[in-house]
Amino acid sequence: MDFLHDNLAALQRHLAFVAVDETIDWSLYVQVFSWSVTLFESYLLLRQFPLYNKTAPPAVLADHFKPDVFEKSQKYGKHKAKFSLFSGLYKQIVDTIQIGSGLYYPWAWMFAGQLLLWAGYGSEYQITQSVIFVMVLTYTSLIPSLPLSLYNTFVLEEQHGFNKVTPALFIVDMLKGWAIGIVLGCPLLAAFLYIFEWAGDRFVPWLMAFLLAFQMIMVIIYPTVIQPLFNKLSPLPEGELRGRIETLAGKLKFPLKHLYEIDGSKRSSHSNAYFFGLPWSKHIVIFDTLIKQSKPEEVEAVLAHELGHWYYLHPTKLLLISQLHIFVVLALFPAFRYAPPLLRAFGFPEEVAAHPPPIIAFLLFQMVLTPLEAVVSMALNAVSRRFEYEADRFACELQTQLKAEEMHDMGARLAVRSLRCTSRICRRCGSIGCTPRITTRIRR
């Protein structure tokens, strides 16, 4: 522990200028880099548009796409790309107004303090004020994003035949999400800040342990407590499909405990399957849309791919990568912890900037990390795409009763049903984030 602390202290000495340098315009820095990331992503999206004007599918998919279905796929892909382009620029403009005005974040902090005083508590209850501050930011930021959610659900997905959400269900889901955010988010944030305060300058390992423990707890309570609030999980009935899946799990010694069917058709006609759980107790969930749209062997092929992720320890590897990412972020934060110039740059009054509350310093620090987070995102997308290829290869090699060509045919048929885009700019996949295109996966 002392070795870690000594090395982190040395890092802070190299970054000591952050706490005293008044010449750095942190607000401008954040806006320039965030706009750079947004414009780069917009450029990649624009490069994608000519591909949506193609009138024929790639040769490898020609036998699976009927002309009218391919036309629908192209229209759906183009519509989603236009929406992504608009929503990305829209969100960036909103962020620019909030940051550039120098009013939004200081207002949220002062408003949280006023609510605290109204409840009969003073400024010494800083953790409570910090929790209120984050809730104010969270729920006020939902206001400008609500039109995007409405359009995506009731226009984009509706026009292309995928939406099953009613206005009433949309409102109920939104209210449930807000309630869960309060019930889970408030204690989590309070505990985070308490550990930070209690551990002092040795907070890094303690916070990492706390966040890891929280992730493990969520693995347990999400499927048993949270998921049932939105969807109904029912045991998969006995039959050919269940038998195939249990046989597949047995081959791999996959610790299958429960096999569920979920009512995904309640919200969308898109289909999916996934697994979750602790290392010694796994649960498989299959969307009812996948079961209705597919033959048993097709569902088996999808699950063979998902179990490939388990076999190659992809979730564990991603967890380790995320822990490394968290460590780097927490290790850099102390340099920004006591940095009045940082708060002044974002419009906070002197009485707040002189003694920076940890939550404000951490929030602004996260903004400063925009360039680093963009690089991390690209790296994670590249890793995820590699994992997808590995899982595809595993599924083909595993199924001795299915030829690789048949596995590819199943993947192609599933892509057709989802009107999935058949062509993408490769750099877009690496930079913005997407699953590999179906043509590339088949060729591999």
Query: Pick the catalytic residue: 201, 238, 392, 409?
Result: 392
Question: Per the annotation, where are the binding residues for Zn(2+)?
Answer: 305, 309, 388
Catalytic residue status for 158: no
- The percent of residues above 90 in pLDDT, for the chain, comes to 58
Fold observed for domain 231-311: Zincin-like (3.30.2010)
Residues facing 281 on adjacent strands:
278
pLDDT of residue 444: 53
Binding site, by residue number, is 305, 309, 388
Domain ranges of the chain: 2-163+324-443, 231-311
The count of other CB atoms within 10 Å of the CB of residue 421 is 20
Question: pLDDT tens digits for 178-230?
Answer: 999 999 999 999 999 999 999 988 899 999 999 999 999 998 888 888 989 99
User: Per-residue DSSP letters for 126-150?
Assistant: HHHHHHHHHHHHHHHHHHHHHHHHH
Would strands 281-287 and 273-278 be described as parallel, antiparallel, or unpaired?
antiparallel
The Cα 311–Cα 314 span in angstroms is 8
**Helical (H) or strand (E) element with 300:** helix 296-311
Which parts of the chain sit beneath pLDDT 50? 404, 425-430, 432, 439
Summarize pLDDT for 71-128 with one digit per residue, the tens.
888 899 999 999 999 999 999 999 999 999 999 999 999 999 999 999 988 888 999 9
The pLDDT value recorded for residue 18 is 77
The one catalytic residue in 157, 261, 298, 306 is: 306
For residue 250, the tally of other CB atoms under 10 A from its CB is 10
201 is catalytic: no
Amino acid 212: pLDDT: 93
